[in-house]
Structure 1
């Protein structure tokens, strides 16, 4: 009897919860009670708690198991081994025929194939949530959206199931989402606290915004530095969705933002005007109606940037779909006070839910229009390419096989057609060798992506940028390339062939030699040093008689002398061969130390390479992005462990356990006088500090270094600027992210491995240091006409021309290596990564 009473109580409790939730989120809706509701499955109302990702996935699994109108697909895995899932919902006939639907969609996106009957094709709609893990309302809305779409008996739900295939990404960033979810839940009071200063609303470092490696995944759709977006883009190109919703949150005092974004100023230069002027307006009407119905305020046509191709709302625009950014004012917890009163978590979820339903409704109502636009997009891509004076781009680095392969992979991942270069040629003053260079024609369906990869843009409709104003990927990779007015090529490249690596046959050798020019040479060096191999580096070039004949070796070449090894010959060979295999390096050997040209192998210009022992300070007041980029670079590209120590623990650090200290951008005011003295003492006794951007300003402020800021005549300022214009006026002075050409001293240890004396660098700060007074210690400084791509004011451009990009400050027996420009930006500046790695491996030689 007691059990019956308990069951009745539980049933009434769950029913009461269900009714309350439905009244708020789904007033006047009828549902199929056989479909498990979120609150019944999870045990709480959506918005009462933040839902852990594993519970979210479990609910999607339950929906897929229950209904023949749902299918859960696993498309990848995060670094922390969470599955990346997509829940596919449509009528059962469509679920059973997904492959046929997919093939028709691919046919539609291929202008070389017949146009299918679009009237019979369902809309392909992708709703993508929580790319920023601490913007949680989207992930919760994904639960309610999936439930409504499967269980609602409304005419609209039936129409969507009939005429669309809806694909729901509950969280593109599961690792970051769970970091924030746990934070919000662990600080939730059962008496809610709306004070913005409450701990619940203020995460510790790193925030849930970022993924495992502290990357902002909403900047990674183009670079594909992270596994989450590598999986997402691979999946994306199997479907080419017509509509992609990209759900975000913004400041608590804001209302709701939906597109269109700021006309012209925030639009991508390669996207057809039709996208912005016609399609956006069509869809905006649905969003306005949805929020008007529930009395929620919103705004459009301001601020938000849609220009950078690496956004989740911009990449679909360059693939024939419609990408839509949505921004909800955040509660950043369960409830937070704002200028309009308390903002609750359920309120933010409901707005995201309403926009999700409106996106599906618009996608279905405009289904045929969007299908025809998808075909038109790729057809016009080819016609525009034929009118373009540039018919192809040729590219390739003769000396860096690995960087070539990395760039080729990026192009192929974005479905850009690439061909072998079948001849030696010279273009724009650069030489391209047959077999070591490739050709990308512009006349191809991915013409607009080709432009994004190679085009340099310096003229803009606006001077204020939310983010980067330049993203030329060929420059980011430091790739030699040239535009051509004709297209001539060899065979199409469809995949990367296995490398054919050279390694010497067993024999009696004086030394093994490895060129430092290859991107993964540092990985080779770290592996052999970690296994006890003594390594030396050449400061000057030479030509050696090797097992493969006479070969030229540039400055930075690694030399492994056999006479100074503590291991026997077979062990050394095994370690070298393993390192060569995992890093993709060619290894040569010489049986004599007498060089054919240049220095001999026993020269004083060849010296031992110190094994790096690297410490990086992280934590509050430091940049989680830059710290993550450094961690990711060393962890995944070098295989080097790096100690990441919180600033609060610095008092426990003995710097003499390390020889290299990395300071990402930040302000290190948490260090007290005795700690700074410890730092100065360690530095003066031979330590190496690698500082980025504002960290160099902090070192300057502490008088640890004594460089000079660039002082120029003050900009001419008007006496009056209208108050309403203040943002545009001041914003035009910022350097939001642009690309510049710099002189590189490739005889300096920082320049080892570079064959060119010029290098593209990325700048997104207004920090200007003069070149060093020591004429040998500014290895990277800007050229006389440096701007390659992006926006910069005339006044700032003059400052750039006179300033240093990288400089070295000798301090006692140590040195500080200042990176005024970030060499590791977003994990995709492969062209400047080696500058940073040279600072780690060869810092004591500067």
Structure 2
């Protein structure tokens, strides 16, 4: 009887507390779904819940955005679980090492990674309220981790824009301003990066802070809430093919289990939905695939709507889609996910442990060698993912050679490392390092190649044997800065070198570069070597001290020399040893440019190179005096006839007088052909006449992919005597994102594809392969006293193709 009374009292107290909690509508002062809630108001509501129900919710701030908005995680569970949260976490993580006896399901719900897919955050508030009130039974054996807004900067950009432009009352007509965002929409983060493509590469501050918490928990289930086009019904798991081959049968099957439970609720409400289409599980940097490769059941849920939907819109079939509708759908799948996870907590724990035990990959080790700076950059990424690696200082290793695409070996005498799949993160290692991921269906949602040895420009082999690391000891470069020297020399072959040069220029230190190899005082130096002479910097009494400080900051090895008289090559006073001019850089934004491609450039300058850049919007670009700038960057985009004849004439005149254009991707089309520049679109070869058998209508999409390249890696030739290619070898692996191609230039072809066009990794259609044969990748042409640089492929793509970044730096500093 005493037990019964105690239980009754407990349930009464719980019910009383639940009744006291304010719903989102009560707290915010408006009915949820009738306004877009700004981020600070969302934070206020979560803080209110944490204060009102501290026994069932723990709220933490795990970081902040570029625009200083807080990033939150809310841990929601039963009072007993919240009191023992750290013990639950530690017991769960023991499963990754074959131990532990966890009985709790860990479910992570991520909302609003795309800012203008704005329903997600609204749904999160309704979801957490229901979990704390009517659905508390789900939490007895489940810990729910909720990130109410992965991308607050983008979401507030959209919310503020919508609140500024919406009609009162809101207008359902799709033609109204409130349904048509401008060029800089709310999808991306501050630097216009797509955070849903950044889980693996961690280029953005939001991703870098989030991954620390994700690795702390490694949830059983992870849901990434999204929106798609207005006229699309709801999408939920199971996903479409291709599935990556490392995905387990249980991960596949549990997606089906979840999907069927969602369908039960959608069927009861008469809501439309689809599964097994469009959204596949292959590219490793999504909010569904990345968790999967870490043992989770990762899923994307897609609601029709996005930024175009506003508070309400008329769809293509004449229905009305409201924000309330969208909230209801995401709310339903969110609760359904927690429900199914709670019901299957034991199975989730068993299979999670198996995921980390049953790793039997073909390749046991990945052995890499190359430039130390590039190895260090890769190590930095691996450390963020808590992937183990070791150094190698000597030895010869056999396996699949990345450089040839066949069996070979790599010999290491210094600057080597090994990454093994024999570790808890072995599956993730396999996915990120494998030479060529197996593609079960060529119709896929994203790029099909990303292997890190190619991305970082490292010589590598994939070995079927387990390779043990060695201890290299201290390899910190030692600088020899003799204050009485004639000059100071340092190499040029990595992005770190470009950062070092950028800092020297910002500090007023004058730097030269050599266009020919040379040797001096028994040491050899390659093209692009930086030469810093005391004579050039005699105006600065603090020159040597500044150089010492900057070289220490960037760990640059500096060689001092007491003469400018070389043993071989060109003396330091030669015309082949030119001063690097201080670049005054402008980049076009808006209108014809792609937001994502512009953002990559913006981020490169401000967060990687740390060099100032002026952003010129197309709204007023025609009024800007280009004479103030030495470099104009035209990002990839859709230019069409953006430049009229007068503007082209002015642009050419600016280049003739010494300006430099860097035209990237689609921007090249604004200059090619009859417009006075030397670049020309490669003409498609005429097919021989043959009788064509009409294809069934449903096969049209698959026929079209013969003309497509879905992010594949190709081996190219490099003319490393060209300043655009200083610091590179004779080969380069480029990530090609499409089949656009241009003929070789009359001269200045720095990187190009020869006859062989079979990709080393990823998918390329048969017709597309023919189209890119004998085509330009990177090149330049002299135009009067200036230069035009063409970048057909994108060396800054998503910020992760590390080996391409030096080409971009060369375009800025080395090409005169």
What TM bracket, shorter-length normalisation? over 0.9
- Cα distance change of structure 1 residues 612 and 568 upon mapping to structure 2, 3 Å threshold: closer
Shift of 1:433: 3.5
Matched residue, 1:275: 251
**SS of residue matched to 1:741:** strand
Task: Return the alpha-carbon distance in structure 2 between the equivalents of residues 717 and 618 of structure 1.
Answer: 47
Tell whether 2:386 aligns with 1:415: yes
* Partner residue in 2 for 1:752: 726
TM-aligned CA deviation for residue 274 of structure 1:
3.4
Q: Does 1:310 align with 2:310?
A: no
User: Contact 2:33–2:324 at 8 Å: present in 1 too?
Assistant: yes
**TM superposition shift of 1:564:** 2.1
Q: Is the 8 A contact 2:392 2:416 kept in 1?
A: yes
1:25 aligns with none
Aligned to 2:267: 292
The answer to whether the 8 Å contact 2:309/2:321 transfers is: no
Instruction: Quote the residue 1:78 is aligned against.
Output: 65
Residue range with higher mean Cα deviation, 694-703 or 236-245: 694-703
Mapped pair 1:64 → 2:50: yes
In the alignment, structure 1 residue 490 sits paired with structure 2 residue 461: no
* Cα offsets for 1:657-710 (capped at 9, x unmatched): 111110111233344443332112102222111111111012115614232322
How far residue 312 of structure 1 moved from its aligned partner, in angstroms, is 0.2
Out of 459, 464, 467, the residue aligned to residue 480 of structure 1 is: 459
Q: Distance in 2 between matches of 1:338 and 1:140?
A: 21
| 2: CA distance, partners of 1:323 / 1:682 | 52
| TM-superposition CA deviations, 1:418-469 (whole Å, max 9, x none) | 1121424365466554551111122223222122222122653222221111
Instruction: Give CA-to-partner distance per residue, 1:790-812, whole Å, 9 cap, x none.
Output: 10112212222321111223323
Cα 1:432–1:595 change in 2 (3 A) is farther
1:789 to 761, 768, 778: 761
In structure 1, C-alpha distance between the alignment counterparts of 2:554 and 2:386, rounded to whole Å: 26
3-state SS of paired residue (1:212): coil
- Note closer, same or farther for the CA distance 1:704–1:361 as it changes in structure 2 (3 Å cut): farther
Is the 2:717–2:754 contact (alpha carbons within 8 Å) kept by the matching residues of 1?
A: yes
Task: Give yes or no for contact 1:520–1:584 (8 Å, CA) kept in 2.
Answer: no
Question: Relative to structure 1, is the Cα distance of residues 430 and 207 closer, same or farther in structure 2, using a 3 angstrom cutoff?
Answer: farther
| Match in the other structure for 2:734 | 761
Contact 1:173-1:211 within 8 A present in 2 as well: yes
Residue 310 of structure 2: aligned partner = 333
State whether residues 109 and 240 of structure 1, in contact with CA within 8 Å, keep that contact through their aligned partners in structure 2.
no
Q: CA deviation at 1:781?
A: 3.3
> SS at the partner of 1:635?
helix
Alignment-derived partner of residue 51 in structure 1: 37
Please state how far the C-alpha of 1:653 moved relative to its aligned partner. Answer: 0.8
1:596 offset after TM fit, Å?
3.4
Given that residues 134 and 332 in structure 1 are in contact (C-alpha distance below 8 angstroms), is that contact kept between their aligned partners in structure 2?
no
1:697 paired to 2:697: no
CA distance in 2: counterparts of 1:260 and 1:602, whole angstroms: 67
1:729 equivalenced with 2:703 (yes/no): yes
Question: What residue number does 1:95 align with?
Answer: 82
Which SS does the other structure have where 1:817 is aligned?
strand
Is 1:392 matched up with 2:365?
A: yes
Partner of 1:818: 790
Q: Corresponding residue for 2:355?
A: 377
Q: Are 2:429 and 1:450 equivalent residues in the alignment?
A: yes
How far is 1:651 from its partner?
1.9
Equivalent residues in 2 for 1:13-162, closer than 5 Å:
32-67=18-53, 68-111=55-98, 114=99, 116-118=100-102, 121-152=103-134, 157-162=135-140
* 1:166 paired residue number: 144
Question: 1:781, 1:806 within 8 Å by CA — same for their partners in 2?
Answer: no
Is the contact between residue 664 and residue 695 of structure 1 (CA under 8 Å) also seen in structure 2? yes
Cα displacement string for residues 185-208 of structure 1 (whole angstroms, at most 9, x for unaligned residues): 112222221122222111112211
Q: Which residue of 2 aligns with 1:17?
A: none
Aligned to 1:634: 605
5 Å-filtered alignment, 1:331-730, equals 332-340=309-317, 341-381=319-359, 384-385=360-361, 388=362, 390-397=363-370, 400-425=371-396, 427=398, 428=401, 431-457=410-436, 460-490=439-469, 500-545=476-521, 550-569=522-541, 571-668=542-639, 669-700=641-672, 703-714=675-686, 718-730=692-704
Alignment of 1:800-811 (within 5 A): 800-811=772-783
Distance 2:210 2:536 in 1: 49
- Tell which deviates more after alignment, 234-243 or 813-822: 813-822
TM-score relative to the length of structure 2: 0.93
Q: Give the 3 Å change call, closer, same or farther, for CA 241–513 of structure 1 in structure 2.
A: same
Q: Are the counterparts in 1 of residues 236 and 300 from structure 2 also a CA contact under 8 Å?
A: yes
Q: Give the 3-state SS of the residue equivalent to 1:721 in structure 2.
A: coil
Shift in Å, 1:563? 1.2
| 2:743 paired residue number | 770
Of 204, 211, 216, the match for 1:233 = 211
Residue 470 (structure 1) shift:
1.1
Partner secondary structure for residue 822 of structure 1: coil
- Mind listing any 5+ residue stretches in structure 2 that lack a counterpart? 1-14, 402-407
Residue 7 (structure 2) aligns with: none
- Quote the Cα distance in structure 1 between the aligned partners of 2:546 and 2:676: 41
Q: d(CA) in 2 for partners of 1:31 and 1:471?
A: 51
1:566 to partner: Cα distance: 4.1
Residues 647 and 670 of structure 1 are in contact (CA less than 8 Å); yes or no, is this contact kept in structure 2? no
For residue 808 of structure 2, what is the aligned residue in structure 1?
836
Gap change, CA 1:60 and 1:702, over 3 Å in 2: farther
2: CA distance between counterparts of 1:584 and 1:217? 31
Distance 1:711 1:627 in 2: 28
Contact 1:417-1:492 within 8 A present in 2 as well: no
In the TM superposition, 1:158-237 aligns within 5 A as 158-237=136-215
Farther-moved stretch of structure 1 (219-228 vs 571-580): 571-580
Aligned-residue offset at 1:484: 2.5
Decide whether the 8 Å contact of 2:493 with 2:726 is kept in 1. Answer: yes
Structure 1 residue 820: Cα displacement: 0.8
For structure 1, which segment, 437-446 or 500-509, has the greater mean C-alpha deviation from structure 2 after superposition? 500-509
For residue 404 of structure 1, report the CA deviation from its aligned partner.
1.3
Give how far 1:584 is off.
2.9
Q: Count residues with an aligned counterpart.
A: 787
Contact 2:455-2:800 within 8 A present in 1 as well: yes
Task: Provide closer, same or farther for how the CA distance between residues 342 and 582 of structure 1 changes in structure 2, counting only shifts above 3 A.
Answer: farther
What is the CA–CA distance in structure 2 between the aligned matches of 1:724 and 1:196, rounded to whole Å?
30
In the TM superposition, residue 482 of structure 1 has moved relative to its aligned partner by 1.3
Higher mean Cα deviation, 88-97 or 796-805?
796-805
Query: SS in structure 2 opposite 1:598?
Result: coil
**TM superposition shift of 1:726:** 2.1
Aligned-partner Cα distance in 1 for 2:312–2:531: 62
Q: CA deviation at 1:717?
A: 8.4
